[in-house]
Amino acid sequence: MKIFLCKIVLVCNFVVLKDINARPISYPGGWTLMQANDFSKHSFHVHYSPSIDYSIGYRAEYWREKEWQFHGLQLNYLIKRINKPKSQTNFYLKNGLGLANSNYEAFENKFEPSLFTGILFDWEDRRFFTSYQNQANYASSIDKFFSQQFRIGVAPYLAEYGYLHTWIMLQANHMPGSSKNLTFTPMLRVFKGDYLAEFGLNNYKDFMFNFIKRF
C-alpha cells in the first residue's frame, strides 16, 4: 500500500492539466490536484469544487513516524471570506472521513475508521501573506494527535497577472507528542498560471516539496 501511494504522488507531478493559490476550494466547476511531502507525511489530494463555498474529494496520506496510511473523503467549506480593495481574508473548515491502515509494531495490516477536522485562516495582499491552520486526527488505536501550522511570507517583487510570482516564507509546525514537535522551515513558493510549487528545508534538515495544479 505504501508503494501504491508513492506511485500516485509521483504520477500527479507529471499530469499535464488562472493564477493559483494554495487554498482548499477552487472556482465553481474546477478540479485541483495537491501533492505534499514534508518531515511528517506524504499526501495526495484531488478535489472538485461545485461552488465557491465548498469542495469535496479523495485524500491519501502516509504518516512517516508511525508508518500508517489514511484513505478517504475530504470536505472543505468556506466559512467566511472578507474582500478588501487590496487584500483578502479567508476562513475554512476542513473535515475528512475514511480508513486508517497500519503494520506498525504490533499491528498486522490493521484497518479502522479514521477522521480529522481542522480550521484554516489566511490573509494576504500583493506583498504580504500569513496563515494558520490546525488539525485533530483520530484513529482509535493506530494514532491520535493534534497539529498546527503557521506561515508568514513576503513577495520580493510584485508581478503582473500571468507572470511568475515568488514568495519567501517561514513555516512553523507544532505536533505535541512527535519526536520533532516543533519545526521551522524557511521556504520558497513560486506560481504561474495553473501551477504552484513550494520548496523548503527545516531545522532538522528535512526537505519539503509541495505541488498544486488547478484545471
Contact 198, 210 (CB under 8 A): yes
Residue 161 confidence class, pLDDT cut points 50, 70, 90: confident
Q: Look up residue 16 and give its DSSP letter.
A: -
The pLDDT > 90 percentage for the chain reads 82
Asked if the model's pLDDT at residue 155 lies above 80, the reply is yes
pLDDT value at residue 1: 52
Residue 213, CB-side half-sphere exposure with 13 Å CA sphere:
13
Q: What mean pLDDT is reported for the chain?
A: 90
Asked if the model's pLDDT at residue 5 lies above 70, the reply is no
Q: Please state which of the ranges 11-20, 26-35, 82-91, 117-126 shows the lowest mean pLDDT.
A: 11-20
pLDDT value at residue 106: 87
Alpha carbons 72 and 45: distance in angstroms, whole number? 10
pLDDT tens for each residue of 179-205: 899 999 999 999 999 999 999 999 999
pLDDT value at residue 13: 36
Contact 165, 191 (CB under 8 A): yes
Name 172's Cβ contacts closer than 8 Å, sequence gap at least 6: 149, 150, 151, 182, 183, 184, 185
pLDDT value at residue 20: 62
Asked if the model's pLDDT at residue 70 lies above 90, the reply is yes
Q: Which of 49, 102, 99, 101 is nearest to 76 (CA)?
A: 49
Alpha carbons 131 and 19: distance in angstroms, whole number? 19
Which residue is associated with the grid cell 491520535? 144
pLDDT tens for each residue of 107-148: 989 999 999 999 999 999 999 999 999 999 999 999 999 999
**Mean pLDDT of all residues in 30-41:** 94
Q: Which of 179, 180, 77 is nearest to 119 (CA)?
A: 77
Which residue is associated with the grid cell 524557511? 186
- Which of the pair, 39 or 6, is modelled with greater confidence? 39
What does the angle CA 209 – CA 8 – CA 200 come to, to the nearest 5 degrees? 5
Bridge partners (DSSP) of residue 201 are 207
Backbone phi, psi, residue 7, to 5° = -65, -40
CATH classification for the domain delimited by 2-209, as one of 1.10.3720.10, 2.40.160.40, 3.90.320.10, 2.40.100.10: 2.40.160.40
pLDDT value at residue 8: 43
